[in-house]
Structure 1
Amino acid sequence: MTHHGSCHCGRITFEVDGEIDSGLSCNCSMCHRRGSVLWFVPHAALRLSTPEADAASYTFNKHTIAHRFCATCGIHVWGEGEDPQGNVVAAINLRCVDGVDLKALPVHEFDGRAL
């Protein structure tokens, strides 16, 4: 299934393929503050409809995850990194995906503070 989404102002728009069956809530210093619920997909499943240059990037701690956000409205849209097997993944902020009912999805807790 193809899902559509965007940041708040619409400068960053995207499509992403996959079945949304759950989300992940992380308690690291970044995720705790921004309140996103993440859905991990292979990076190739994410297609930006707008230029990638419109998205700013932020890294911290070990600098292994690029947190991507709109440079205009500041909304975190997705992150980029590698899973434990070395596959490149995108962590989509489900709060930016159109029509997602987060109350209907199981949300798993991840202890990012422990890393």
Structure 2
Amino acid sequence: MLKSYRGSCHCGAVHFECQLDLAPEGQRSKPELDGVWWTSSFRCNCSWCAKTRFWKGFARPSGFRVTSGADMLTEYRFGEAAIRHTFCSRCGVHPFATASFEPMGGDFHAVNIACLDDVPPEELAAIPIIFEDGRNDAWDRPPAVTSYL
């Protein structure tokens, strides 16, 4: 089910709230939009996710807001510059990214699940994960090796 979560960077300068469905498969509510993005979390081996260990869950714009520290955020774009990778300018932690892709229904926030402050370890362990082979632009299938992600 869709729940509200609070998150932050490491130093506490940036705080945000988001609505995500992190429930295990079979316990999730029907997503607002069609697509696998709204039914799981994701780990990827692309150059960004592999180096930052970015574990993403997707939130709609109406279910996401920065509550403090927006002025501490800076961004990094690479490749086609379609994704705004944000990070805290003080501690360097990457709490979320923002983009708009038509196949996903437009605007979204990719929340770094590791930055959520109020998720107990048991709940984190039960979150379903889809692995993406971003290194080979094969987003619809997992890479041959996923244990390091």
- Aligned residue number for residue 117 of structure 2: 98
Higher strand fraction (1 or 2): 1
Higher Cα radius of gyration: 2
1:9-66 deviation digits (Å, cap 9, x = unpaired): 0000011123223310011101001112100111221111114221110000110001
* Structure 2 residue matching 1:76: 3-state secondary structure: coil
Verify: 1:50 aligned to 2:68, yes or no: yes
Aligned counterpart in structure 2 of residue 63 of structure 1, from 58, 81, 86: 81
Normalised TM-score (structure 1)? 0.91
Q: Give unpaired runs (5+ residues) of structure 1.
A: none
Which residue type is aligned with residue 44 of structure 1?
S
Q: Give unpaired runs (5+ residues) of structure 2.
A: 24-39, 138-149
| Runs of 4 or more consecutive aligned structure 1 residues displaced over 3 Å after TM superposition | none
Aligned counterpart in structure 2 of residue 111 of structure 1, from 116, 133, 140: 133
* Structure 2 residue matching 1:73: 3-state secondary structure: coil
- Aligned residue number for residue 26 of structure 1: 44
- Aligned residue number for residue 16 of structure 2: 14
Normalised TM-score (structure 2)? 0.72
Superposed CA RMSD = 1.4
Amino-acid identity (%): 33
- Quick one: higher RCO (CA 8 Å, sep 6+), 1 or 2? 1
Q: Using the TM superposition, name which of 39-48 and 61-70 deviates more.
A: 39-48
